[in-house]
Each structure stands twice: as C-alpha cells, then as structure tokens.
Amino acid sequence: MSRTFSIIKPDATKRNITGAINKLIESGNLRIIAQKRLKMSKEQAEGFYDVHKEKPFFKDLVEYMISEPVIVQVLEGDDAIIKYRTIMGATNPDNAEEGTIRKLFALNIQENSVHGSDSDENAVKEIDYFFTKDEIVG
Ligand code: CMP
C-alpha cells in the first residue's frame, strides 16, 4: 500500500463535479483516507507550486488555484502514485486517454480538474503541506 496527494481543482469545484471525480477515484481502487475543502491563500498556492515558479504559466496558475475552493485529498492503494496518474490522464486533456478524469472533465491544460503527486518524495511533501498526521485515517 502507498499514498498519493490529490487536489480537485477550482474548475471542478465550481462546476459541482467533485462527487463524479471521487467516484472515478474509488472505482479505480483508491481509498480517500483524508479530504478537506479549502480556499488556498496566494502564499499557499505559490509555495505548493514553487517548483514551477520560473515557468511562464506560474502567475496564471496561482491566480486560478486561488479563484475558487479546492478539495485536497490523501489517496491510498497499491501503487497509488502511478494508479492515480493513470486515472487522471495526461496533463493536457487533448492528450488524455478515454475515460480518464481529465479526458472527461478538464477544460484545458491549466484548468485540468485534478492534481496528483509525481513521485514518492513529492507525495510525502505535498501530504505534509496540507495535512497533519491525525487528519489522515487509513
Ligand atoms: P499540475 O499537475 O497540477 O501541475 C502544474 C500545473 O500547472 C498543471 O497541473 C496545470 O494546471 C498548470 N499548467 C498550466 N499550463 C501548463 C503547461 N503549459 N504545462 C504544464 N502545466 C501547466
């Protein structure tokens, strides 16, 4: 069993499709072992996406991530990181496989409905960024 970190992003909370996304997560054999809805501060969003701070899309990304509430989650399952990346589909919905969250719901490369960790190291970091140990009930 391993864990990954997920964000259901502003485009999805705005369109009231968080339940539909959770259904795909659960039917893909991942368990939501922590979840909360929050409105990110600018500092929180900038810190979370610090790795992208030199990218041309950074400013727009931060503005988007603070525009509406998000749902942050911890997901658990066998090979959780790879499994969730498969369930999400490619970053750009134009390249995402049929049946994936991003193919079904993403609006464009930025408003792409979900975020998932890309490595074990980042999963630990990202989970710690939003959750205390006692908020995670596996
Ligand atoms: P995410 O997986 O959360 O990682 C970085 C985010 O930046 C990405 O999803 C998108 O929401 C956003 N983004 C906007 N433009 C781009 C781009 N050209 N390439 C990658 N990510 C982008």
Q: Are 92 and 79 in contact (CB under 8 A)?
A: no
| Pocket lining for ligand 1, CB < 6 angstroms | 52, 57, 61, 91, 109-110, 112, 115
The Cα angle at residue 100 between residues 69 and 105, in degrees rounded to 5:
40
Q: What mean pLDDT do residues 52-76 have?
A: 98
The pLDDT value recorded for residue 73 is: 99
The 3-state DSSP class for residue 32 equals strand
pLDDT of residue 90: 98
How does residue 109 score in pLDDT terms, banded at 50, 70 and 90? very high
The closest-lying atom of ligand 1 relative to the alpha carbon of residue 60 is 14
Whole-structure pTM over 0.95, yes or no? Answer: yes
In tens, the pLDDT along 7-48 reads 999 999 999 999 999 999 999 999 999 999 999 999 999 999
The Cα–Cα gap between 2 and 77 comes to: 6
DSSP 49: T
Which residue, among 92, 58, 74, has the nearest Cα to 3 in the 3D structure?
74
Annotation says 52 is catalytic: no
Q: What mean pLDDT is reported for the chain?
A: 98
Instruction: Give the per-residue pLDDT at 127.
Output: 98
Pocket test for ligand 1, best of 67, 110, 114, 115 (most atoms within 8 A of CB): 110
pLDDT band at 132 (very low <50, low <70, confident <90, very high): very high
pLDDT in tens, 80-99: 999 999 999 999 999 999 99
